Amino acid sequence: MNRIQLSLVLGAGVLAVALMSSSSGVAEVQNANRTGELGPGTTCNLCHGGGNFGASVDINVLDANSGQAVAEYLPGEQYVLEIAIQNSIGTPLRYGFQATSVDAGGNNAGAFTNPSANTQLEAVGSRHIIEHNSASATNTFTVDWTAPATGGDVTFYASGLAAGNPTSSGGDEYAGATLTLPEATITIDVGGCTYDFACNYNALATFDDGSCEITSCATEGDINGDGIVNVTDLLLLLANFGA
């Protein structure tokens, strides 16, 4: 009887430890990628469910200086990646998440550094991961993100949890989101002569800078400017002389 009771106590203790350890993030505890990047069936709802908080996930990439959300990125620049789990019903006890960034070729896109106090950096295989480091009373998680130097579209994947039970995965609600951020298009203005009849016409110029001139390439005696000297020019000369 004592042996059975001891087994039950040990079993309950192991279960409690497992449930508590999962609050540290599934990449750290289970070495699992639950960001949703791998497709259906690879998110936090594999283990969590039963909650009803009207949960949703917002992914924002913020300018490091202004704090404003950007719609495109400059290669090699540093931004702030913000993951926020929202709820419209009730009050979750805790929040958790996992996220990553991937380029069009399926590789890690950029680099994560400087996680907020409730966030940690992890890796599952070759995939870089950010996730909560404990069940968080705060619904917002941030990390610095340095954009890839090679450019191209970057897709962010995030799984979020609004947790309603501090000791089990029941009573939690999952929500997921993706955000695709394109590389910024940089336009360089080139000044020059945009009039094709001028001697210094520049086909690459995007705006006229007032530098056009028509004398350096003119043919002597070509009064009408058609590039050749003929009878027409002579008649014009005589007409001007008579005037």
With vertex at residue 127, the alpha carbon angle to CA 79 and CA 83, rounded to the nearest 5 degrees, is 40
Other CB atoms closer than 10 Å to residue 212's CB: what's the count? Answer: 17
Digit-coded pLDDT (tens) for 44-98: 777 777 778 899 999 999 999 999 999 999 999 999 999 999 999 988 999 999 9
Per-residue confidence (pLDDT) for residue 25, from 0 to 100: 87
Nearest CA to 55 out of 83, 19, 17, 78 is that of: 83
The three-class DSSP label of residue 43 is strand
Integer-rounded Cα radius of gyration of the chain: 33
Q: What is the pTM of this model?
A: 0.71
Structural domains in the chain, sorted by start: 2-181 (2.60.40.2410), 187-243 (no CATH)
Q: What is the pLDDT of residues 160-173, one digit of tens each?
A: 999 887 666 777 89
In whole angstroms, give the CA distance from residue 228 to residue 226: 6
Question: Shortest CA distance to 49 belongs to which of 155, 165, 147?
Answer: 165
Q: How far is CA 215 from CA 47, 199, 207, 220, in A?
A: 80, 7, 21, 10
Alpha-carbon distances, residue 181 vs 3, 62, 74, 152, 176 (angstroms): 59, 12, 10, 9, 17
Tell me the pLDDT of the chain (243 aa) as tens digits.
333 332 323 233 333 333 333 477 889 999 999 999 988 678 877 777 777 889 999 999 999 999 999 999 999 999 999 999 999 998 899 999 999 999 999 999 999 999 999 999 999 999 999 999 998 999 999 999 999 998 899 999 999 999 887 666 777 899 999 999 999 987 778 888 888 877 888 888 888 888 888 777 766 666 566 666 677 756 766 776 665
Pick from 81, 174, 173: which is nearest to 119 by CA? 81
* pLDDT computed for residue 233 by the predictor: 58
Position 19 scores a pLDDT of 33
Task: Give the pLDDT of residue 87.
Answer: 92
